[in-house]
Structure 1
Amino acid sequence: MHTEGERLIPINIVDEMKSSYIDYSMSVIVSRALPDVRDGLKPVHRRVLYGMYGLNVFSNRKHLKSARIVGDVLGKYHPHGDTSVYDAMVRMAQPWSLRYQQVDGQGNFGSMDGDPPAAMRYTEARLRKISDEILADLDKDTVDFQNNFDDSMTEPTVMPTKIPNLLVNGASGIAVGMATNMAPHNLSESIDAIVAYIENKEITIDELMKHIIAPDFPTGGIIYGYDGVRDAFHTGRGRIVLRAKVGFEEIGNRNAIIVTEVPYQVNKAEMIARTAELVKDDKIPGIYEIRDESDRTGLRVVYELKHDAIPNVVLNMLYKYTSLQTSFSVNNIALVKGRPIQLNVKDIIHHFVDHRHEVIVRRTEYDLRKAKERAHILEGFMKVIGTQDDLDKAIAIIRHSANPAAAKEGLIQEFDLSDIQAQAILDLRLARLTGMELDKIRAEYEEIMTMIKDLEDILSNEPRRYSIIKEEMLEMKEKYGDERRSVIDYSGGEMSIEDLIPDEKVVLTISHAGYIKRTSLSEYKIQSRGGVGNRAATTRDEDFLEYIVAATNHQYMLFFTEKGKCFWLRVFEIPEGSKTAKGRAVQNLINIEPDDKIKAYIRTDDLKNTEYINQMNVVMVTKNGTIKKTSLEAYSRPRTNGVNAIEIRDNDQLLGARLTNGTSHIMIATKNGKCIRFPEEKARAVGRGSIGVRGISLEKGDEAIGMIVVNDLENDTVLVVSERGYGKRTAVLDYRETNRGGKGVITLNVTEKTGNLIAIQSVTDEDGLMIINKSGVAIRMGMDEMRVMGRNTQGVKVINLKKNDEIAAIAKVEMDSDVAEVIEEGEESTEVNTAPDSNNPEFSEVPLTGDNAISNLGDPEVLRKIEEEEKENNSGETPESSEEKSED
């Protein structure tokens, strides 16, 4: 039963649900979850800023209790829970959440580990300087205001911001039926893009991307691959892969992976806990211990590895299974005139510039209105107090009037004033009636008339308005711009990296123990003339620089291991190190097995050059005398885990690999003193999977010890050395050309006195040689010390060995002529003492430790100076610590 007078309206529940849900979703979309394209703020953030503006907590005032600010925002503008307001304000103050914070917090505002902030009664806040720019000109009628929730006051619908907030701070929010996730960008880059857009409205997105390169996250990290960035800029949607910034260190005798920056929005504590679980479950083998060593100076997470673990392999597992690699899905949805629209980067810039243009028009109109009002009053002053007679007349009218209204009426009639002018005269203080004040009034009037003219010019001149936007933008860049934090690793994606990395010359140095680094060629050029030269690269004990080659960033290094695998590194992927740095162990850069060893390094030109890769061949030789020639084309598709370069059977191993040009000659030597020479055409090219062909026929118990490739038959000579210290140099032409697979001819008469042959090298007078004994002594000699002699002789004693000592290895110190030229130009640097030194005494013998390994072994004076310099540099550090320093 229903009471009298009550009316029931039957409605369809489906229609009611539809309309109610649409109302609710529109409210969420417009008034809660999505930012406005113009100022990049959601209502709650706008209200927090406006509430702080109302409380006058600017960047130059003292902090105010957060609870006071939150209470004000709740009571005046935002009728929701206090936690929603406080949480929003806390986020605006966190350096890891916003690229450019808007609130300056004092107290505990949470941490990257997900720790909650202190309650609002304990913390304090004020606006940051950059927020003053977001609120600038708010009092000049630059934006529309609307009533608050109870119509008792008004609040701005948008901020007149000078900061392109949507671009630089991004936004994320889940509405109904849609969501937004916008990445933060660098302010300097964003402003460069905005300026470029103002200068040319028809600019393409690709041209804008030369200015605004990629997102720039507050926590830094590495943007891995560029395709997602390009998609996001062009369409407003894209998936950006983020990686932590990682380095390798040696801690004690263990390798360690050091994380110094994590991807955006990653909870560090959760990431470490999750990784620890995976290690416990054996999902990620190889990790010995995880430590969080972060402190107030910065983030540092240490993954200490087990002895047999390969850092690169462990790192790839961490990327795969933990938040060391995450993805950020860009979805640029923002409110344009109250409607949610998906925007590309040019749309965002376009709407921001339009907003700034409107703000400048409205600000100028306001200033003009105020200037005209003031000019009107000054005109009244000049009419009334322009001369002494007028002034006396005005004073008389005021004195004889019964009340202010009569006085005003009298002034209006006598001087033809407006109501406003007459009131201003009545409000004048007597002090303003002096002659000096009258001059001031006239000067102010002239100034205001000039200003009015200028403001009218701004309003009538659109190009000028845009140039004002540009000037203000550049001023913001000057004040708040900073370096970008997120690094872009273009090689992660499909983008052609050649467009992005200059193909400049670098010097690659590889030590005997496999430490590699690249150094810009310019580092060698800037040394001053004379003097001892700079301190050379710190190498480890019993190590020295073996290869010094000039390369360019686009070239490749191929690494061949004794198990017959091939790995690649682009030259730009090799870590950069100064001249004094030790470099990084190659094992840490490629996924090589723990029990495998690198046997050969080959530098090649760009593997995308089809003509080059089809013309060049890789020739390999194994201990059992097998030779294999394969076109370089077969090795032109790099894979992270390497490829099989040659099939290695039991009891065999790869000895070396060289690049040939199709017309080279190949020489293989065996430990019993035999050597064969044949043109490379005799070995037909085979596929990468095959095992190769016989290079030299071995007698029982014999084995190959090395191969050389000869390109200059006239001038190259062959050096062979035996383990008891005998060796000799012979002209290549002394070895007759034969067919592949023969037994070869005698290269050195092997006797008990000489011991087995252990090395063969192709040398010229300019080359330097390092001889390493089993006892750890290194001898340096220049090849010009050794005369060329006949083939079938025992050779000469290259080195006097102590009792029972033998030669372990010889290494030609290879240096490109390009590098040598540049270094000679600079000065006699100790770095280059790995190259032959014509002033060397015949042989120098020095225990092979530390820097001596590559210093000028022949010159005690130089050695003394280097030692002194070392003492000065290290000032009490152990050699290990100075090595670690240089590696960093």
Structure 2
Amino acid sequence: MSSDVPDPGPDEDVAARVERVRIEDEMEQSYIDYAMSVIAGRALPDVRDGLKPVHRRILYAMHEMGVSSGSSHRKSSSIVGETMGDYHPHGDSAIYDTLVGMAQEFSMRYPLVDGQGNFGSMDGDPAAAMRYTEARMSPIAEELLADIGKDTVDFSPNYDDRLTEPEVLPSSFPNLLVNGSTGIAVGMSTKIPPHNLQEVIDATVHLIDNPDAEVADLMEYIKGPDFPTGANVVGKDAIYSAYATGRGRLTVRAEFEVEERESGGDRIVVTELPYQENKARVVERIADDVNEGIIEGVADLRDESDRNGVRVVVECKRGANVEVVKNQLLEHHLESTFGMINLALVDGQPQVLTLKETLAEYIDHRKEVVRRRSEYDLAEAEDRAHILEGRLKALENAEDVVELIRDAEDRDGAKEALREAYGFSVDQADHIVRMQLGSLTSMEAAEIESEYESVQAEIERLETILDSESELLSVIKDELRDIAETYGDDRKTSILEDEGTVTREDLIPEEDVVVAMTADDYIKRMPAAQFDPQRRGGKGIIGGDPKDEDRITTVFRANTHDYLLCFTNRGQVYRLKTYEIPEMSRTARGKSAVNLLDLDDGEQLTAVVPTDDLDAEECITMVTRHGYVKRTCAAEFENILSTGIIAAKLEDNDELVDVEVTDGSMDLVVATEGGMTIRFDEDEVRQMGRSARGVRGIDLQDGDAVAGLVATSDDDERSLLTVTANGYGKRTPLSEYRRQSRYGKGLIDIKTDERNGPVRSVKAVSEDDHIVVMSDRGQIMRCPVADISTVGRNTKGVVIMTVEEGDSVASVDVLPSDSGTAD
């Protein structure tokens, strides 16, 4: 028995020929080889035609079988068998599953296979067995194979070297973006959404004309993914990020509408589901959540879908808030995330591509295809012109040529005689010898001359294409436009703005609330409607239950959907959403704010500013207990860390007392605990950074301290409400406080004798407003401003809230007349 291995001699050590390698290195290299085999040979699409090997082989097998869009359907088992036997030596189930996917209108934006029979459904129903279904190529699939016989792409041997198969298809349109792709390889995956054909082609043409175009320019044409199931993509910024980086998370939302029932109540009708969602499973999950009480307000659930489309009906109970039901459905079932990863093979290597890079790679591919096709067509045209030239010369000497052929002993002799007599080439002489006498008629001669002119024109056109880059690109653009005109359709998926995204906020009813906080950082919110207005002088009702040695420090009104800037006495500012504050009963102590605000020991909230209507060009104006005033542009408070940021730099023992929003044209009224006020133009306080201390706003008397700040203007018809620690207060028109220069001693506002106690709060109020007063021990009272008489400056005021012995007013806030809470 012979062997290729030489027989070692007696002195040759076989072990010396064994190569020693580290097992880690061998395993690493073997794994890399395996991974690349899976990546290139199975899991990832090629950027040029957007197909994985199995898709490409199925289409090429159908092409070779003649199963085109114009032929009759063939059994799927026949197509699978041909594909498996000639090109794809893997399991038939994998091939058939791929074939089914290419035929499903809900899976592929532009199906590449025209199926006949049961090819599955959106409910997850499987396709019938391959022996029952039939298939053929769809018309658009033939555009992927167009000109494949003209040496436009490279071929390689199939798995057993019997045949050859294309390494890539010519692809007359950017199929990778048009139909998308999904695949999981070793250590990487791809998930490319489908797009609208017309939009992709328009963007491709634009990039050909403008090679320096950026992703934003291309998005003028490609608005976003276009799923075969329609629905909506939420957020243009997310789409741009995904296109600009090749990776992104897109929120896909179902399409639905709210209808009124004739019998009363509403129904939510879902007509489009997110891409790749199992409809039956979605309906089942909704039913489970309704039964478990997760979704409330649903009376009935039906799937009325048919061949015409999706229709899932959610009947709401009478009196149910349809907006809340809708948002609950969105949060749990009608929205999904599409994790886009634009990963494809570029020159056989996996690469994450931006939108521009994807289209640029396709354009390079088409340039190569059109160039090779033109070279092939040119060679064919030149061969034909050469033959026609011979025929025309033969026609000019028809009688002599016929005589020469007739006198020859055989065909070979005739060919040789023609070549010697007229200089014909071998091909020309062979063609002339085989010509029929009928072709020598004058009509035939005219047709030959006409054909020759046409061939010459074609040769000239092809040479121009090959010699000019612009002409080649013009051909590509024209062919793309033809594809768009033939197969283009309207977009199915809508693009919604970012504000359409459902968040936890959408599940929270919008209402005005009162927020209370204690010195020990316990916080809660209570609906403002719980507090009925009382006549001034009342004791109020329990609004909190602070424990021993704790006390209420802050009370303020807010809307549950407000974003709040929360300023503390230490000069820090935090950002907080009102609905994040736990809602509790009036008598509850509250919950620790440690998870909401990162406050230090002794740090307390002193002012709250809603940011929803805050203009970035406005100013945050602050005042400290020692009388310092500063203005900082609101734009500097846009990015606030969870641990807060510095709002003002404070001196030792100084504290931030109050905050107002100003626009540069207002006056500032600073009030002190001792009953003094000063009004001056805010322009006297220049804008400064967050870390600045500010300038002096009022010259405080010994032992006095600032109690609050109000912003006003010349045409402000409101009054200045002053409330003291012992529950007394008064209203005085703001017009009675004349403007002075900054850093004066000010004017007397209210007497702060033993009866009144020091000033605790000053607010600008209108006649129709209500105020909310809260004491250290948690008593709270809501009082109409109209009940508080208007008096002049330098008066004692009237009792607003009866405060028990040992208790005092902690905080005051205003319920504006336009808040919907005032009676």
CA contact (8 A) 2:765 2:785 kept: no
Which portions of structure 1, spanning 4 or more consecutive aligned residues, are displaced by more than 6 angstroms? 3-8, 560-565, 611-615, 630-634, 677-683, 686-689
Whole-angstrom distance in 2 between the partners of 1:486 and 1:129: 23
Check 1:689–1:222 CA distance in 2 against 1; reply closer, same or farther (3 A cut): farther
Partner of 2:420: 413
Question: Which segment is superposed worse, 43-52 or 270-279?
Answer: 270-279
User: Is 1:247–2:257 an aligned residue pair?
Assistant: yes
CA deviation profile, 1:551-574 (whole Å, cap 9, x unmatched): xxxxxxxxx9999985889xxxxx
Is contact 2:45–2:51 with CA below 8 Å preserved after alignment?
yes
1:776 is matched with none
User: What is the percent sequence identity of the aligned residues?
Assistant: 45
Query: d(CA) in 2 for partners of 1:492 and 1:36?
Result: 36
SS of the residue 1:214 aligns to? coil
SS state at 2:489 partner = coil
| In structure 2, distance between residues paired with 1:482 and 1:141 | 32
The answer on whether the counterparts of 1:227 and 1:493 sit within 8 Å (CA) in structure 2 is: no
Secondary structure at the aligned position of 1:218 is classed as coil
Among 318, 323, 337, which residue is 1:327 paired with? 337
The change in CA–CA distance for 1:120 and 1:631 in structure 2 (over 3 A counts) is farther
User: Residue deviations 1:361-394, cap 9 Å, x none?
Assistant: 1111111000000011111112222233333334
- C-alpha distance in structure 2 between counterparts of 1:341 and 1:308, whole Å: 55
* Pairwise CA distance, 1:433: 2.1
The match for 1:471 among 478, 493, 500 is 478
Q: Residue type of the partner of 2:459?
A: I
Q: Deviations over 1:67-94 (max 9, x none)?
A: 1111111111111111111111111111
Paired letter, 1:696: A
Matched with 1:219 is 229
Match for residue 194 of structure 1?
Answer: 204
User: Using a 3 Å threshold, how does the CA distance of structure 1 residues 632 and 264 change in structure 2: closer, same or farther?
Assistant: farther
1:658-673 aligned within 5 A: 663=716
Question: Shift in Å at residue 662 of structure 1?
Answer: 6.0
Q: Aligned equivalents of 2:159 and 2:390: distance in 1?
A: 44
Alignment of 1:131-210 (within 5 A): 131-210=141-220
Letter in 2 for 1:393: E
Partner of residue 317, structure 1: 328
Aligned-partner Cα distance in 1 for 2:139–2:49: 16
In structure 1, C-alpha distance between the alignment counterparts of 2:614 and 2:377, rounded to whole Å:
62
Note the C-alpha offset of 1:681: 7.5
Counterpart in 2 of 1:696? 786
C-alpha separation in 1, matches of 2:614 and 2:220 = 25
Q: Tell me the residue number matched to 1:88.
A: 98
**Whole-Å Cα distance in 2 between the matches of residues 306 and 121 of structure 1?**
49
1:285 to 290, 296, 304: 296
What is the one-letter code of the residue matched to 1:279?
V
Task: Specify the alignment match of 1:825 in structure 2.
Answer: none
- In structure 1, the gaps of 5 or more residues are 495-559, 570-592, 594-605, 616-629, 635-659, 667-676, 700-738, 743-888
Give the stretch that moved more between structures: 38-47 or 244-253. 244-253
Is the 1:246–1:260 contact (alpha carbons within 8 Å) kept by the matching residues of 2?
yes
The one-letter amino acid paired with 1:50 is Y
Match of 1:401 among 383, 399, 409: 409
* Bigger-Rg structure (1/2): 2
Distance verdict in 2 for CA 1:16–1:678, change over 3 Å? closer
What corresponds to 1:423 in structure 2? 430
Out of 277, 280, 302, the residue aligned to residue 269 of structure 1 is 280
Q: Quick one: structure 1 residues 193 and 374, their matched pair in 2 at CA, closer, same or farther if it must change by over 3 Å?
A: same
Following the alignment from structure 2 to structure 1, what is the Cα–Cα distance between the partners of residues 772 and 465?
A: 78
Letter of the aligned partner of 1:684 in structure 2? A
Compute the TM-score of the two structures, normalised by the length of structure 1.
Answer: 0.57
Whole-angstrom CA distance in 2 between matches of 1:105 and 1:152: 30
Residue aligning to 2:460: 453
Cα pair distance change 1:454/1:281, threshold 3 Å: same
Q: 1:237 to 1:445 in 2, by over 3 A?
A: same
**Could you say which residue in structure 2 is the equivalent of 1:42?**
52
Contact 1:135 1:160 in 2 (8 A): yes
Q: Which residue of 1 aligns with 2:537?
A: none
Aligned to 1:551: none
Q: What is the correspondence of 1:602-621 to structure 2 with a 5 Å cutoff? A: 607=613, 609=615
Closer, same or farther: CA 679–312 of 1 in aligned 2, 3 Å: farther
- C-alpha separation between the residues in 1 aligned to 2:79 and 2:337? 36
Cα RMSD, aligned residues only: 4.1
Distance verdict in 2 for CA 1:365–1:304, change over 3 Å: same
Residue in 2 that maps onto 1:69: 79
Aligned length: 559
Following the alignment from structure 1 to structure 2, what is the Cα–Cα distance between the partners of residues 174 and 18? 20
User: Are 1:357 and 1:465, in contact at CA under 8 Å, matched by a contact in 2?
Assistant: yes
Q: Would the aligned equivalents of 2:215 and 2:244 in 1 still touch at CA under 8 Å?
A: yes
**Which whole-Å CA distance do the structure 2 matches of 1:261 and 1:633 have between them?**
48
Assess, with a 3 A threshold, how the Cα gap between structure 1 residues 681 and 258 changes in structure 2: closer, same or farther. farther
Deviation at 1:613, TM superposition (A): 12
Residue 163 of structure 1: how far off its partner (Å): 1.2
Q: 1:187 to 1:567 in 2, by over 3 A?
A: farther
Match in the other structure for 1:124: 134
Q: Match of 1:121, as an amino acid?
A: R
Matched residue of 2:302: which SS?
A: strand
SS in 2 for 1:122: coil
CA 1:237–1:391: 2 relative to 1, 3 Å: same
For 1:443, the equivalent position in structure 2 comes to: 450
Shift of 1:688: 11
How far, CA to CA, are the matches of 2:315 and 2:620 in structure 1? 44
Using the TM superposition, give the Cα deviation of residue 679 of structure 1 relative to its aligned residue in structure 2, in angstroms: 8.2
> Aligned-pair distance for 1:53?
1.1
Residues 607 and 613, structure 1, Cα contact 8 Å, conserved in 2: no
- Cα displacement (A) at 1:103: 0.9
Could you report, residue by residue, the CA deviation over 1:857-885 in whole angstroms, capped at 9, with x for unpaired residues?
xxxxxxxxxxxxxxxxxxxxxxxxxxxxx
The one-character-per-residue Cα deviations of 1:345-368 (angstroms, maximum 9, x if unpaired) are 010010001111111111111110
Superposition deviation, residue 665 in structure 1: 8.7
Q: Please give the TM-score of this superposition, normalised by the length of structure 2.
A: 0.62
Q: Compared with structure 1, are the counterparts of its residues 610 and 31 closer, same or farther at alpha carbon in structure 2 (3 Å cutoff)?
A: closer
Opposite residue 494 of structure 2, the aligned amino acid is V
Is the Cα–Cα contact under 8 Å of residues 135 and 159 in structure 1 kept in the other structure?
yes
**Structure 1's 688 and 200: CA in aligned 2 closer, same or farther, altered over 3 A?**
farther
TM-fit CA distance, 1:607: 4.1
Shift of 1:661: 12
Deviations 1:162-213 (A, max 9, x none): 1110111111101111111111111121112111111111111121122212
Output the amino acid matched with 2:159. F
> Which of residues 289, 305, 308 is equivalent to 1:297?
308
Amino acid aligned to 2:764: R
SS of 1:36's equivalent in the other structure is coil
Seen in structure 2, the aligned counterparts of structure 1 residues 200 and 298 have a Cα distance that, compared at 3 Å, is: same
Distance 1:567 1:129, change over 3 A: farther
Change (3 A) 1:445 1:94: same
Assess if the C-alpha contact under 8 Å between 1:146 and 1:154 holds in 2.
yes
Q: Distance in 2 between matches of 1:302 and 1:378?
A: 71
Q: Does the CA-based 8 Å contact 1:384-1:394 persist in structure 2?
A: no
**1:492 positional shift:** 3.5
Structure 2 vs 1, CA of residues 49 and 209 (structure 1 numbering), >3 Å: closer, same or farther? same
Which one of the candidate residues 104, 108, 111 is aligned to 1:98?
108
Q: Secondary structure at the match of 1:207?
A: helix
In structure 2, C-alpha distance between the alignment counterparts of 1:356 and 1:486, rounded to whole Å: 28
Instruction: Name the amino acid aligned to 2:432.
Output: I
Q: Which amino acid aligns with 2:486?
A: K
Q: Deviations over 1:744-766 (max 9, x none)?
A: xxxxxxxxxxxxxxxxxxxxxxx
